Structure 1
Amino acid sequence: MAVHFHEEDLPAGVLADGPLAVDTETMGLQTIRDRLCLVQISDGNGDEHLVRFSPGSSYDAPNLKAVLADPDRVKLYHFARFDLAAIEYYLGVTAAPVFCTKIASKLTRTYTDRHGLKNLVEELLGTSISKAQQSSDWGGPELSDAQRDYAASDVRFLHRLKAELEKRLAREGRTEMAQACFDFLPARARLDIAGWDEHDIFSHV
């Protein structure tokens, strides 16, 4: 297992075929205000790739964009809504089709309100991960070893979580419901970018 660090784009041919685990790190939680700093990606075979974008980047990353936009590769996220918006706004691609472990958790783990990645990894996989670097400065000139390990851990477990959550979705008869939610997520992300991030357009008011 290794963490590979790249500047501005993903090297060609470093990912195996199949689903890809994807995550992003930004300067904050407001997509338009807070620039995309890092994209993490893994094919689930033990290595994680971190692609960093510098301040003022043109986000011209043809190899990364190609794999993210590939309609034949499922992208695994935890809280896909946020990552999809960041990727669409800065990289200009729709990184779908989608499987979101947070939504799958909310549809199956209805006995708890703890749906964070740390909670899922602990309960479903029996492993502990640190979230200490979650709110650190991702736009600095250098990323620390702790930041790199944190970023890699955000995609390291998603393939295994998907397998466990798919079993639970099937058990509870909610696979089709989950898929409908996943299919809507790119549109939900576009609504966020366009300014409907808080208002529920499906509500009566």
Structure 2
Amino acid sequence: MAIKLHHGDLPADLKFGPVVAIDTETMGLNPHRDRLCLVQLSGGDGNAHLVQMPRGSCNATRLGALLADPDVLKLFHFGRFDIAVLEHALGVRCEPVYCTKIAAKLARTFTDKFGLKDLCRELLGIDLSKQQQTSDWGAEELSEEQLAYAAADVLHLHALKGKLDALLEREGRMELAQAAFRFLPARARLDLAGWPDVDIFAH
């Protein structure tokens, strides 16, 4: 496993496969207030690429092109937040997408534990540390512990997708999951537009 830190954008010669796992670290949970600090990516090869975003205007054109590429599936855990953050910060619509949290909620109705740590432990036998979750991601120099934590959030998503796809197929819910994934970018845009806590399908 290798963790590679990049500043401001992805390197021009970096290539990913058809599925890229993505996560973000921010200064808080309000995309309008709290800036994007770090974007983590993995092509499923055991390597993690971390892009540290500068304070102020983000001009990550290569990262933005990857996010908007219709031929690359963007793989998230709780993609609703990350998609909104990336669109607000970079001005790109992230599609198509897959969310392991949505997949888990549709396939694993026997439990109420859908966090990444829970899924990695139960489906992959991997115990993730969440000790750095609330650390200062806006720091100019990130610690080795922060980088390892951030990388872990994308390194296992491909394996989780494989396990969850099998469960969705077994339970006959793959078509429903795919419909939910297609709607997810619109749900993120509703969050950004001012409907974060409203069920627009309610009476």
TM-score category by the smaller chain?
A: over 0.9
Q: Contact between 1:71 and 1:97, CA under 8 Å: does it hold in 2?
A: yes
**Structure 2: which 5+ residue stretches go unaligned?**
none
Q: Give the Cα–Cα distance (whole angstroms) in 1 for the partners of residues 9 and 54 of structure 2.
A: 11
TM-score normalised by L of structure 2:
0.98
Q: Contact between 1:15 and 1:42, CA under 8 Å: does it hold in 2?
A: no
Amino acid of the structure 2 residue aligned with 1:16: F
State the Cα distance separating 1:199 from its structure 2 match.
Answer: 1.3
Percent identity of paired positions between Structure 1 and Structure 2: 59
Q: Give the Cα–Cα distance (whole angstroms) in 2 for the partners of residues 12 and 128 of structure 1.
A: 34
Q: Give the Cα–Cα distance (whole angstroms) in 2 for the partners of residues 171 and 36 of structure 1.
A: 38
**Structure 1: which 5+ residue stretches go unaligned?**
none
State the Cα distance separating 1:55 from its structure 2 match.
Answer: 1.7
- Please say if 1:113 is aligned against 2:132: no
Q: Contact between 1:37 and 1:54, CA under 8 Å: does it hold in 2?
A: yes
Q: Give the Cα–Cα distance (whole angstroms) in 2 for the partners of residues 171 and 15 of structure 1.
A: 33
- Which position in structure 2 is the counterpart of 1:92? 91
- Which position in structure 1 is the counterpart of 2:36? 36
Q: Give the Cα–Cα distance (whole angstroms) in 1 for the partners of residues 121 and 151 of structure 2.
A: 17
List, as ranges, runs of 4+ consecutive aligned residues in structure 1 with deviation greater than 3 Å. Answer: none
State the Cα distance separating 1:202 from its structure 2 match.
Answer: 1.1
- Which position in structure 2 is the counterpart of 1:48? 48
- Which position in structure 2 is the counterpart of 1:152? 151
Q: Give the Cα–Cα distance (whole angstroms) in 2 for the partners of residues 114 and 75 of structure 1.
A: 23
State the Cα distance separating 1:200 from its structure 2 match.
Answer: 1.2
State the Cα distance separating 1:19 from its structure 2 match.
Answer: 0.3
Give SS of 2:5's match: strand
Q: Deviations over 1:45-103 (max 9, x none)?
A: 111000011222x2111111111110001010000000000000001111211110000
173-182 vs 46-55, greater mean Cα deviation: 46-55
TM-score normalised by L of structure 1:
0.97
Q: Deviations over 1:119-153 (max 9, x none)?
A: 00001111111011111110011111110000000
Aligned residues: CA RMSD: 0.8
Amino acid of the structure 1 residue aligned with 2:112: D
State the Cα distance separating 1:15 from its structure 2 match.
Answer: 2.6
Q: Give the Cα–Cα distance (whole angstroms) in 2 for the partners of residues 132 and 111 of structure 1.
A: 28
